[in-house]
Structure 1
Amino acid sequence: MNPPSAAQPGSGATPPTVAPTTASATRPVSGRPADLQPGHRLVTVTGDDALWTSCEEFVYEMYVSIGYTEPSPRHRVEELAHWAEVSRFHAVVDETDRVVGTVRTIYGPYAELPVNQFERTDHTDPDPVCELSSLVVDPHQRSTGVIEHLYRAGWLDAWRSGSEAVVALIDDWLYQAFKETYRLPFRQIGVGQHYMGTDPVPVCLPLQGHRYLDLARENPQFWAWTLEALTAGEVRDWDLPIVLLDDTGTATGTTVPHATPAPRAR
């Protein structure tokens, strides 16, 4: 994300239960992501942390190698330096603290984020928003669950920050994968253009519980894994659907959130 191709994705009343539906998309769903490999762990990194420079250098080296940014004596992506004070990294590191994957969360009004460099055509979601950027995975760590753990960390960070939506600049292939393979409720909100060596489009992922009902029904194992990172209070307060699994991990139904959730506290 920004650009993404380096990452080879109530009232307290009990809601009714709805049986799983057949997904309309033809691409098989992702299912439950793999656990992180032994020795790998997920960490949150701010500008005061020693790992901040390592994260910046990791993204920089990957972007330079594939032509997304120009070399810099500071060994950082200069196009993103302006937002250092309003962002942080989530990173997967190994037992020696070597970075193997990152995602960056940048917070603020839409007009003050990198995504605003693109023409916006959908203004549905209000400020503040959280932009996911620098979703980068070591090529040797792809298809090992790293990208899913990073996505979940960024998504959860956005919820906890009080943001109204997640926004991002992503290539069309990744946009389609997020929608079809994971069933994430992304939608395009602007006009794509050439940017940092690729041709991304601006997209949005709403942070409203009822928007995730189709995901919970159509990719229940992925959604159940997503909820494992939340507290019971967060699931309740954010009015998120809950997938019901039997002893074999097969989905038997989904609890439906309220159509008009209560405002979230910031």
Structure 2
Amino acid sequence: MNHAKIIAEVETQVNAAMEEATRAIAFHESWRPMAYDGELHKRMGNSYAGGTFVVIREALRREMLLALLRVWDDQQKSLGLKRTFDALRIPAVLNALIVKRVGEHSGSAFDRILAEHIASSCVDYINKAGELFDRYWKRGEASHVMQHLQVLRNTMLAHNQLAPQRITGKDATDDEIEAFYRDTRTIVECLLHAMHATALDMNDTQGVYETYARYFFGAVRGERTEGHPEYHRPMSPL
């Protein structure tokens, strides 16, 4: 078994997962005001622009779910967390990763302490990510969320099945999908720590796209709301 090759493949998967998770954040944080911002809904009002507003909201939600599910894909030639954890749970591969991460930290007593810290930290991050992965995969306690979203993707989002597969078991709630979104981000963060010693906090990424959305939607209003270029003030009664 070529451990170096396996580690290189896992690194490629983790890098791709970061890209998809970042894309999911961009779509989700752009969609959130359209779904939950009551003031924005009030400004839109009963507007002719409401049709396009709904189309954009649905498109953002669709693209967010597709990006999120690409992180969890199980196709042989695609990005997929299952293959990542299948590899990292092979003791020899994990040891090879630790040796690679430790690098030259193996000489003095201080170097040995540092090497032990790196090794322990690497294992801790992989274990934390693995626990979250197991929660949603197959028979995990929240596996119904994954099943629900995968069926939704396969029958309506990525394909249009004329005789759609029925979802067995309970549907995923909006709160459960939100938790799945956040747990996926945490998995990617942990894997980046373990593989690259990269301390990425995706809350910062979220904050960037929240700011973009706030400035954008701050100007969004219907033609019956003051500030719209086609707004006409109602005539006062005589």
TM-score interval, smaller chain: under 0.3
The structure that is helix-richer by fraction is 2
Give the number of the structure with larger relative contact order, counting CA–CA contacts within 8 Å between residues 6 or more apart.
2
The structure that is strand-richer by fraction is 1
Give the TM-score normalised by structure 1: 0.22
Give the TM-score normalised by structure 2: 0.23
